[in-house]
Amino acid sequence: MIYKNLGRTGIKVSAVGLGCGNFGGVGSAPELFGQGESEAEAFEIMDMAWELGINLFDTADAYGGGRSEAAIGKWLKKRGSSVRDKLILSSKVYAPVGDGPNDRGLSRRHIKRQVETSLKRLGVDHLDLYLIHAPDPDTPLEETLSALSDLVRGGLVHYLGACNMPAWLMVKALWLSDKHHYQRFEWVQNAYSLLERDDEREMLPLCRDQGLGYTPYSPLAGGFLTGKYRLDEDYPAGSRMTLRPEPYQAYWRRQTFEALNGLRVEAEQRGVSMASLALAWVMAAPEVTAPIVGPRSPEHFEVVREALELSLSPEERDGLTELFRKRGSGSD
C-alpha cells in the first residue's frame, strides 16, 4: 500500500480509503436504513480493508441512521487498541438525523451534539478527520468554522475537511479561516470519476494552488464504470440503480454506454477489469490523495488490488478521458 500526506498536513493516509456508507443502510437515505451490509458483512469488509493496508475509514453520522458508526465502533472494540492507534477515522456532519428543525445542518449546536454522538458510537475519544457533509445555506459560514475550530482546539477532532463543496465556497472558507484564525479545511471530498469531471474546472486547480488534499467519492460512478449495466437490460438485482438511482440517472443514455464499450476494450487489452482501470484513472490524477471506495463484498477488493498495481502515464490517462469526452458522456 502507498501512503500519502493529506494535503499539507503531516497525517498520512492510504492511497485508497474505505467508504462505510453501506454499513446498515445505503448512505443517509432513511427509507433504506437497515439495508446495505449487515454487521457481520461489514466486519468482513473492514477486515479485508485492514489486511490490504487501508488505514482510512470514512463514515458519517447519518449513514444507516448511525448504524455505520456503530458497526465500526464494535469492530474497533474487537480488534483492540493496536488497530485503533493506526487507523485514521473520518466522519461527517450535516445530514438530517431526526425530524426536528435543529436535527440537521452546521449550527454550533448541531455540530457539538453530533460530534459527541459520533464519538460515542465509534467508542473513541477523538476523530482524526471530520468533514462537513455539505454546505449549509441556513447557517453563517463563520459560525460553522468557529464551532469546528473549537473541536480541534478541544482535542475532539484533529483535521477538518469539506464534502460536496463548490470551489467558490471553499475559497471563501479559506479566506475566513485566514482572516479570523479559524482552523482551515485541509481537504475536499467531492464526486469524481470518468463520468463526473466537474471538479476539473475549478476545484482541482484550487487544490493545487492551496495545497488541499482530495479524497473523491464515487470513483466508479455508482457501478456504471464496472460494466454491470446494459442500456437495453434491467438493472442488476441489488445494484445502486435499484436502491438509490437518482444520483446516476443522468448517465443512462446511449453516449455513456458507447464510452463504456471503449473502456471495456481498453481494459481487455491490459488484462484488467473495467472497474480497476477506471479506479486507476482517478488515482493517476496528481491532485488525488485517495479515492473512497465502497466494496460490497471481499471479492470487490480485487478491483482495488489491480488498480494499485496499474500505473497510467499522463498520456494513457488522457486517452481514457478522451473516450468519454468525444462521446459527450463526461462532465465537460
C-alpha to C-alpha distance for 143 and 146, rounded to whole angstroms? 5
DSSP 104: S
C-alpha to C-alpha distance for 23 and 95, rounded to whole angstroms? 16
Q: For 288-300, write each residue's pLDDT tens digit.
A: 999 999 998 888 9
DSSP 128: E
Whether residue 304 contacts residue 56, with contact meaning beta carbons closer than 8 Å, is answered with: no
Q: Residue 27 — very low, low, confident or very high, per pLDDT cuts 50/70/90?
A: confident
* Domain 1-189 class in CATH: alpha beta
At residue 252, the pLDDT reads 85
Whether residue 167 contacts residue 155, with contact meaning beta carbons closer than 8 Å, is answered with: no
Domain map (residue ranges) of the chain: 1-189, 221-285+295-332
The alpha carbon of 51 is separated from its chain's Cα centroid by a whole number of angstroms, namely 20
How many CA atoms are closer than 13 Å to the CA of 330, on its beta-carbon side? 19
The mean pLDDT of 165-189, rounded to a whole number, is 98
Residue 19 burial by Cβ neighbours in a 10 Å radius (0-12, 13-18, 19+): buried
C-alpha to C-alpha distance for 197 and 315, rounded to whole angstroms? 17
Only one residue has cell 468554522, namely 145
**Residue 112: Cβ within 10 Å count:** 16
Percent above pLDDT 90 for the chain = 83
Kindly write down the DSSP assignment for every residue of 236-262, as one continuous string. PTTSHHHH--GGGGGG-SHHHHHHHHH
C-alpha to C-alpha distance for 332 and 319, rounded to whole angstroms? 15
Q: Residue 331 — very low, low, confident or very high, per pLDDT cuts 50/70/90?
A: low
Residues 3, 63, 217, 248: which is the catalytic one? 63
Q: Helices 301-309 & 39-52, crossing angle to 10 degrees? A: 20
Catalytic, 63? Answer yes
Question: Does the structure show a pLDDT above 60 at 243?
Answer: yes
The alpha carbon of 189 is separated from its chain's Cα centroid by a whole number of angstroms, namely 6
C-alpha to C-alpha distance for 183 and 158, rounded to whole angstroms? 10
C-alpha to C-alpha distance for 321 and 102, rounded to whole angstroms? 43
At residue 67, the pLDDT reads 96
Contacts of 28 (CB under 8 A, 6+ apart): 21, 60, 62, 63, 95, 96, 133
Only one residue has cell 474505505, namely 18
The mean pLDDT of 135-139, rounded to a whole number, is 98
Nearest to 47 by CA among 75, 20, 21: 75
The mean pLDDT of 229-250, rounded to a whole number, is 76
Percent above pLDDT 70 for the chain = 97
C-alpha to C-alpha distance for 103 and 82, rounded to whole angstroms? 35
Question: Does the structure show a pLDDT above 70 at 327?
Answer: no
Q: Residue 232 — very low, low, confident or very high, per pLDDT cuts 50/70/90?
A: confident
Question: Does the structure show a pLDDT above 70 at 205?
Answer: yes
